[in-house]
Chain A
Amino acid sequence: MSKLKNVVHRDEELVFLDSFIDKDNQPDLKPNNVIIQGYQSCGKTYVVEEYFKQQKNEILSCIINHKEIFSWKNLLKEISRASLQTLRLKFSNYKVSNIIDPSGTEHFYLLVRFFSQLFSDCGQQIDEAARYSFYVVIDKIDQLPEIDVNTFPKLIKLHEILPSNLKFKLKFIYTVENVSFIDKYASYDIPTIVFPRYTADECLQILLSKKCLFKASSQFNEKLVDEIGIKDTVPRVKNQIVEAFLHFVYEAFYLYTGSNLQDLLDMAFLKWPQFVQILNNDNYANEVDMYKQSIDLWKNTQDYLEENIPGNNKLESQYDLSDLSKYLLVASYLCSYLQPKYDSKVFAKKSALRQGRVSYGRRAKFDFNPRHLSPGIFPLERLLAIFQAIYPYSDRDRNYTDEEKDDINNKHFSGLIPNTSNVEVYEAIGELISSKLLLPSKFLHASPLNSNTKWKVNVPWEIILEISSSLHFDITEYLQ
């Protein structure tokens, strides 16, 4: 076969593939199922696509894109739909008969019925003696969602169930990422082609082969013409710049992405507009200068969402916890990490009355238990109780008028400290729960209204320290 011009470093694999595929319209001589195995981003799908594209006049084929498949029923429908479309293109005078409806093939027996009907209908239009293979490529069959163990064996045995007198023979090519998937079906002895990972050099070469994508960028061309004053007709300079850029990308991020070319390309696309901005009259001819001036680009991957906002380096946070919620969070942290039996000693204002062991019963030495390092669970009432104990009656730093001071004192001594349990507090708790800072102990039927649900805090020590310091609240004092 002739070499595919868009495919590099896959010569050997192509020869294997070619030898397994029936080009001479003698379907009985070639295997019915072929597996192509290789890890992510090593060109499996691409090679197969290119191969069939080149041979599309000789070989009937259709390709199922794995991203469009959501379940095995969906897969069967897609297979029949794609095959119908291919055959319809090939035999333009073929009319769809009423019996054939690809969306009806929700089971294997229906798929069999569909194909026998389809093939026999189409077979009427070709010579008596001719026999064809019909290839269906199923992409990443091991990655499809909701595919059970039985689906694959059923697919590979499909050709046996179809009537043997048909003029078409249904054949499958599967691409698979996981070796363990093949191991599961090892006893079927399916011919397998293994695609090795690209080596570093091969990666670079493939990356460089994509340079036309970058050269075509309008931003780049405008920049070259307008600022640097190079005519569109000088391909050498353009080539040089793009090649240098791809080299930088490769050098900087190959260690990060590994041989995953898709990621490497994505990264290059992200960096390209920024890189073009850095180009100017002085540096475009010199690779070292280009690198030096764009050094910030290569220091990190920049795949964060926030930096993309133009003209605003530091995004103002939209969503901030109020002081009330912060106190609740601190209280829930204390709930999670303090023993309930010490509560009265730690928090009660009258703890002086009951000091020492009396206040919390017998002291037993705890065995060290790693579970004590994870947050303990607590009922919601305990959270409210501790919250009341630590919440100051006013957290706003301002001077009160005398009237207000009296008011506050009166409320305090009559036990009416504001905010003890009003709607705001409950709202804030709801907010904490929905932002997953407070977690229920079990997720089934978890509800703040259910007394069986216990809660635990979901914030690490460093963050709670930050939060409590923003409140001028010394949490370490409680946890000694």
Chain B
Amino acid sequence: MDLKGFSEASKTHYIVVPPPPNNTDDINVVNHQSLNNSIPFVPLLNGKESIDALTKRWELYNALNCQFHSKIDNLLTQTNQIVYEKIYKILSSKNTTTSKGIFTSLFLLGSDSNLNIPSPADTENKINVIVSLTPKESPNVRMMIKRSMFELLAIASERIDPMTYNVSENLKEITLLGVEYDLSLLKNFKNILKKDLKLIYNFKEADSFSFQVMDDFLQILKTMTTYDGIEVGAIFHVSTNLTNIEKNLRQKSIRLIKKNMHCVDLSKNKNFELTNKIFETFLITVDGKLHLSSSLLSFTLDKMANCDSKNKLVDTLIKILDYSLMFYFFNTSFSIFVDIPNLVFFNENYVKELVKCKTFQKFIEKLVETHEPSENILDLLENKHNALEDFFAKLLISQNPRTEYLFKVKNILETELHITNYNLIEIYYNLLLQNNKGENKILDYLVHNWPECANFEEKLAFPNVEIICQELFMLDNKSDLLSENLFPKMRSNIEDDLLSCDRLIPSIKVLGLDTNDENLFSLSHVMDPPSTYFFSLYREASAFFNIYDFYVAFKTCLPKDVILKYIMSHINNYKDNEDYNDATYLQVDILKNFLEENNNDKELFFDKLALIWFIQCVTEFKYMGIIKDEANTRKSLSGILEKQIWRGI
């Protein structure tokens, strides 16, 4: 019997992973001509941006993005590596107390159950097997045993050299069928395979298991350890707190677990350690050139505070940084100058933007105040003799004082004060804020949180500098684009989409279809989807509405004449039109039959058509959670619908 195939067939569910797209890597290779169509960026500077600059911007963005992600991946794998080593050490450690009835238990705290733990290497006369169980697969003890024995045998028979040893023949020693998926397999394991076994159970999402089942299963694990040549281990992935597991198990089982228990903390983010590293990586990736605005930082902090589990926090941070970078490159023409060689693209158009910049204007004002020669100032403003360009180039080369300062603070905190529980993003945020005296708040913040910092005041002081042209290199959350895209408001989004359906459905022109094409039957030529009409009515209605009244209103707001005319024209000539494809033909045919059933009465026909749409819409809206049957009625159809809103407040 093919074990793998059989166990595959007996699964209740499958996980399908879509294949990765093939052409992610060769974005940079594609030549310019085809790029014009494939770059999602649009020319900025009122559309005057040159194609080359646009391409450079796109390439630069991709390069930075790739760089950032590869660094992050490295970082994450590194942290995982450390954890792996710990887990290995525990799993492969020899049981010091060899007495029967004890199994190794390992709690992975803060795990999201995705960690793929490879089994320790086999030795000459011992096989190590890891068997995973999820709550879905474990409705009761019997199924758990059956499944795990399946897997065990499948893995074990793969590992054993079939030339020297015939597994299936030996299995017949127990039963004639060859295999029996219960504990008899374990009991006779040493007899059959002539090897010891370390069986490690991997309980994924341990806190969602039915604890009654888990409890019974732990007792069975204890029984397993009494068999000859069998060692047992159990790994629990705990995403909540350990107390959650503890309070649900019987005292007896807890004592059993405690006999040989280990904990490994997987939560990637202890004391913001990892988020700090990620943020640092980001700053380094953009070469310290870019600034982050206070609104973006406060937004990031807010969203991070809303994360329940610490693993989610890391994902959220990466996503926000990712989006902000993309938004910046999409939106800002100056973004190409992050890479200094791109200065060759600098021209008239950029000068206009640069001169408008607030901090630059302030700088000019200062120059005027200090009575600089007016020639110099004019040169700067009009870019004579490339004065402005040179000035700009100098700006680009100079270091970003904020980033520099941030790393300095980090160093002092870590090496001299041994503080690790700081949040780098919060420090950056406070760097941007100003207190009443117009000074940076950073010092107040540091001293307030870590009084030891008072001794380093001089080193930690940050001069309140104006950074010229910082607006041009600022990642921002302008117009709430990030908040809208990363954390969309569900309800208002649905409502907006329903009101203007072209947000979702591309109009006919975009699709490149000809409105006058007589061979194509599509009502979208003459009307919006019915739900759009339905929703515009719904918005006007009060909280309760009578279903019939609503239907009548719905019917009248449909563009009746246009629809009828369109349908009739198609019905009249579809018979002789050979260009129709099958689907269209069928549609029109159905409509014609429908019309004939109604004795060619157009009014009646349209009423019924509207009714069909109406019922469809009501059902759709119910599923969307926008309307419901009237509350407080026990009848299934009361004729009254209710908006799904809370009217109490």
Contact = CB atoms under 8 A, between A and B. Distances in A.
A103 B175 contact: yes
A441 B644 CA distance: 18
Interface in B603-630: 622, 625, 628
Contact of A308 (B177, B184, B261, B434): B261
A434 to B, nearest CB: 8
A303 B258 contact: yes
8 contacts: A67-B219, A145-B216, A324-B306, A344-B649, A396-B305, A401-B294, A422-B483, A424-B487
A102 interface: yes
A218 B177 CA distance: 45
Nearest to B316: A424
A309 B223 contact: no
A270 B648 contact: no
B531 to A, nearest CB: 18
B255 A303 contact: yes
B246 A306 contact: yes
B222 to A, nearest CB: 8
Contacts of A67: 219-220, 222-223
Interface in A290-323: 301, 303-306, 308-309, 315-323
A49 to B, nearest CB: 12
Nearest to A430: B308
Interface in B287-307: 294-295, 298, 301-303, 305-307
Given A305-B245, A385-B648, A423-B487, 4 more contacts: A319-B241, A323-B306, A379-B646, A396-B298
A422 B488 contact: yes
B241 A65 contact: no
B141 A421 contact: no
A234 interface: no
Interface stretch (A69-77, A118-126, A152-160, A165-173): A69-77
A403 B477 CA distance: 13
Contact of B648 (A101, A320, A344, A394): A344
B437 interface: no
Interface string B173-194: 0111100101110000000000
Contacts of B310: 318
A78 B645 CA distance: 60
Interface string B461-499: 000000000000000000000010001111110000000
B649 A343 contact: yes
B99 interface: yes
A81 B174 contact: yes
A402 B252 CA distance: 60
A183 interface: no
Residue picked from A68, A78, A319, most chain B C-beta under 10 Å: A319
Interface stretch (A6-14, A261-269, A462-470): A261-269
A318 B237 CA distance: 12
Contacts of A77: 180, 182
Interface of A: 65, 67-68, 70-71, 74, 77-78, 81, 96, 98, 101-104, 145-146, 213, 217-218, 263, 266-267, 269-270, 301, 303-306, 308-309, 315-325, 340-341, 343-344, 347-348, 379, 381-382, 384-386, 388-389, 394-396, 398-399, 401, 403-404, 407, 418, 420-424, 426, 428, 431, 434-435, 449, 451
B62 interface: no
Nearest to A325: B308
Given A305-B258, A318-B241, A381-B646, A98 B176 contact: yes
A288 B315 CA distance: 57
A292 to B, nearest CB: 25
A347 B434 CA distance: 36
A145 B490 contact: no
Contacts of A348: 649
B70 to A, nearest CB: 28
Given A344-B648, A421-B490, A70 B245 contact: no
A421 B240 contact: no
Interface in B354-380: none
Contacts of B238: 318
Nearest to A323: B305
Interface in B228-270: 238-243, 245-246, 251-252, 254-259, 261, 263, 265, 267, 270
A103 B183 CA distance: 13
Nearest to B270: A316
Contacts of A78: 184
Contacts of A322: 305-308
Interface of B: 96-97, 99, 107, 109-110, 140-142, 145, 174-177, 180, 182-184, 208, 216, 219-220, 222-223, 238-243, 245-246, 251-252, 254-259, 261, 263, 265, 267, 270, 294-295, 298, 301-303, 305-310, 433-434, 483, 487-492, 622, 625, 628, 644-646, 648-649
Contacts of A403: 295
A325 B309 CA distance: 11
A424 B303 contact: yes
A385 B649 contact: yes
Contacts of A74: 142, 182
A275 B356 CA distance: 77
Contacts of B246: 304-306
Contacts of A418: 483
7 tightest A-B CB contacts, nearest first: A343-B648, A70-B142, A385-B646, A103-B175, A381-B646, A101-B176, A451-B628
A285 B312 CA distance: 56
Contacts of B184: 78, 81
A305 B648 contact: no
Contact of A103 (B140, B176, B303, B309): B176
Given A70-B145, A401-B294, A309 B305 contact: no
B489 A422 contact: yes
Contacts of A451: 622, 625, 628, 644
A305 B257 contact: yes
B306 A428 contact: yes
A341 B647 CA distance: 10
A428 B298 CA distance: 20
Contacts of B270: 316
B96 A218 contact: yes
A146 B241 CA distance: 33
Contacts of B174: 81, 103
B251 A303 contact: yes
Contact of B265 (A304, A318, A343, A344): A318
Contacts of A145: 141, 216
Contacts of A304: 246, 254
B142 A396 contact: no
Contacts of B644: 381, 451
Contacts of A423: 487-490
Given A98-B176, A145-B141, A319 B258 contact: no
B242 A306 contact: yes
A266 B256 contact: yes
A115 B242 CA distance: 50
A396 B306 CA distance: 11
A304 B249 CA distance: 11
A426 to B, nearest CB: 7
B581 to A, nearest CB: 37
A379 B631 CA distance: 11
Contacts of A321: 308
Given A70-B141, A323-B306, A424-B487, A404 B298 contact: yes
Contacts of B255: 263, 266-267, 270, 303
A115 to B, nearest CB: 16
Contacts of B252: 263, 266
Contacts of B483: 418, 422
Contacts of A386: 648-649
Nearest to A338: B648
Given A67-B220, A68-B182, A431 B648 contact: no
A424 B306 contact: yes
B511 to A, nearest CB: 30
A395 B298 CA distance: 12
Nearest to A321: B308
